[in-house]
Structure 1
Amino acid sequence: MFGFLNLNKPFGWTSHDCVAKTRKLLRLKRVGHAGTLDPAATGVLPIALGKATRLLQYLPGEKAYKATIRLGVRTTTDDLQGEIITQQPVTGLTLETVKTALQKFEGKIEQIPPSYSAIQVQGKRLYDLARKGETVEAPVRTVEVLKMEILDWREGEFPEVDVFIACGTGTYIRAIARDLGTVLETGGTLVALQRTASSGFNLADSLTFADLEAQLQAGTFQPLPPDAALQHLPFVSLSATAAQKWCQGQRITEQDNSSAEILRVYAEDERFLGIGKSNGDVLIPTLVLI
């Protein structure tokens, strides 16, 4: 089996759990995922099947989320899975004030990952250190938030705001929730998170495990093509002779010169052959799949 599964990850499952479940259902050893999701998050988790695991590094990094942020609360994990640090009812906060504060998080921003995260410091993951009670300063990272839009606003002692967030790779939505609370001087934590798009895959086209099992039982499951999420890369088409040489690891003089460094490579019959690197007018095999 060779291609991708666009999985709608269920609540409470780790990304590793999803890989293990997929491996069992498909009876396939070689399975991997792109873009780790926290157990409490749901939504798009791209799963690579078979040789497609070698393509994970070439997937686009852009992601999109629907997040619910509660103000007036701070927790140890920056979401409701952690212990409450402070909890104070919010008064006098308006939607316009929240809108203005959110603007500070658009564009390239510096972000400190949550203490409970998979970031490694001195070879150890932050969540392992946090569980041991060790306090470690997480490294500041530069991330990019491409778009942020308020979807809904609910007033109350602990007001909540639903936000659409489109961002680049490495962005922690829990950190945005925490930092929004800091800017507003109310405290903030993430209540719910759903990833609506990731690495070229969208929620509308995703499958739940129930969907997958039903399709497998009916014999109708087909993985998405291996190049389905690589459309952001330019491509080159090789003649039959050139394609055969390229698949044998030989460098090819391109028929159509390209200024792009990384290319999708196809045979003239539209078979996807793999990934090549352009060096001037020479196409160098980087990842040969056929």
Structure 2
Amino acid sequence: MARGRKGKAVSGWLVVDKPAGVTSTSVVGKVRWALDAQKAGHAGTLDPAATGVLAIALGEATKTVPFITDAVKCYRFRIRFGAATTTDDAEGDVIDSRDGRPSDAQIETALEAFRGDIMQVPPQFSAVKVDGERAYDIAREGEAMELAARPLWVERLELLGRPDADHADLEMVCGKGGYVRSIARDLGRALGCLGHVAWLRREWSGPFHADAGISLDEIERMARTPDLEARLLPVEAGLQDLPQVQATDQGAVRLRNGNPGQVIGNLPYGTECWASHQGRAVAVGRYMGGELHPSRVFAI
């Protein structure tokens, strides 16, 4: 006889304002425990030293995680000029240093090369897989790797200010797969002074914003209470960047059974979208001539 999952069938999103010093995985575990939830995951890892929005998906919301992972994100960060580190942030050991410091004008000019469609090499300490192993596991053994450059869309990268000659504060809005540590490393190299991330905060990710997030202290205080469940956003919150169509009564029945169902909408043929019925998400799929052909079906 199959053993059932422990916990409750909780579904929805909890937006956490992650503090520095904890891993994204540990935050997921804390949230799952606090809500006694059967299933939980996060939409986009934050480094342990980073802070900001970490969107936790519970239950049926885990089916919408790819749409948040792929969403545009906003980061604010500080670069420390003059030193390169093993991890490209302040957690690593310094491996090289330079005396020169860039002017504001030099930084502004150099930033041009980091906007739009760029190619970016991930940090040595990253979750990229190399021959089946995580890069950070190989890096911890002291082995250097040749990581392949990956495409990244940078919608905006702006200099916000200079606290002093050694530092610069920046804001970046980018697509999926962006490494702020790589931006700091490569900008420092381009300026001839080297650099690494001093601190990093993710301000928003798709529809989720850090200023609306809950702290870990609040999660612990409200654990296993209706107050914490009241902070959950609906599953549909993870679908806001997709077009929406309305399922007919009969179409909703067919979609819930995993079959193409009739929907009301006016989208180009083949558009990825989601269908709702009576205010709840039914399925995600492709719009094909008045029907939705589902790829994900929600049990809510």
TM-score computed with the length of structure 1 as normaliser: 0.93
Query: Aligned match of 2:32 in 23, 35, 48?
Result: 23
CA RMSD of superposed structures (Å): 1.6
Secondary structure of residue in 1 paired with 2:145: coil
Matching residue of 2:75: 65
Secondary structure of residue in 2 paired with 1:246: helix
Query: Aligned match of 1:98 in 99, 104, 107?
Result: 107
Matching residue of 1:124: 133
TM-superposed CA distance for 1:90, in Å, is 2.5
Secondary structure of residue in 1 paired with 2:255: helix
TM-superposed CA distance for 1:155, in Å, is 2.9
Matching residue of 2:97: 87
Secondary structure of residue in 2 paired with 1:228: helix
Matching residue of 1:262: 272
Secondary structure of residue in 1 paired with 2:154: strand
- Are the counterparts in 1 of residues 16 and 53 from structure 2 also a CA contact under 8 Å? yes
Write the distance in 2 (CA, Å) between the matches of 1:283 and 1:213. 41
- Are the counterparts in 1 of residues 262 and 292 from structure 2 also a CA contact under 8 Å? yes
Q: Does 1:229 align with 2:238?
A: yes
Query: Aligned match of 1:41 in 30, 33, 50?
Result: 50
Question: Which runs of no fewer than 5 residues in structure 2 stay unpaired?
Answer: 1-9
Write the distance in 2 (CA, Å) between the matches of 1:217 and 1:289. 25
Write the distance in 2 (CA, Å) between the matches of 1:82 and 1:216. 35
Matching residue of 2:151: 142
Write the distance in 1 (CA, Å) between the matches of 2:81 and 2:53. 26
Query: Aligned match of 2:195 in 188, 191, 207?
Result: 188
Secondary structure of residue in 2 paired with 1:204: helix
Q: Do the aligned partners of residues 182 and 216 (structure 1) sit closer, same or farther apart at CA in structure 2, a change above 3 Å counting?
A: same
Matching residue of 2:249: 240
- Are the counterparts in 1 of residues 41 and 56 from structure 2 also a CA contact under 8 Å? yes
Write the distance in 1 (CA, Å) between the matches of 2:120 and 2:52. 23
Secondary structure of residue in 2 paired with 1:77: coil
TM-superposed CA distance for 1:150, in Å, is 1.4
- Are the counterparts in 1 of residues 42 and 57 from structure 2 also a CA contact under 8 Å? yes
Matching residue of 1:201: 208
Matching residue of 1:282: 291
TM-superposed CA distance for 1:217, in Å, is 6.7
Identity %: 36
Question: Which runs of no fewer than 5 residues in structure 1 stay unpaired?
Answer: none
Secondary structure of residue in 2 paired with 1:254: strand
- Are the counterparts in 1 of residues 73 and 204 from structure 2 also a CA contact under 8 Å? yes
Q: Does 1:176 align with 2:183?
A: yes
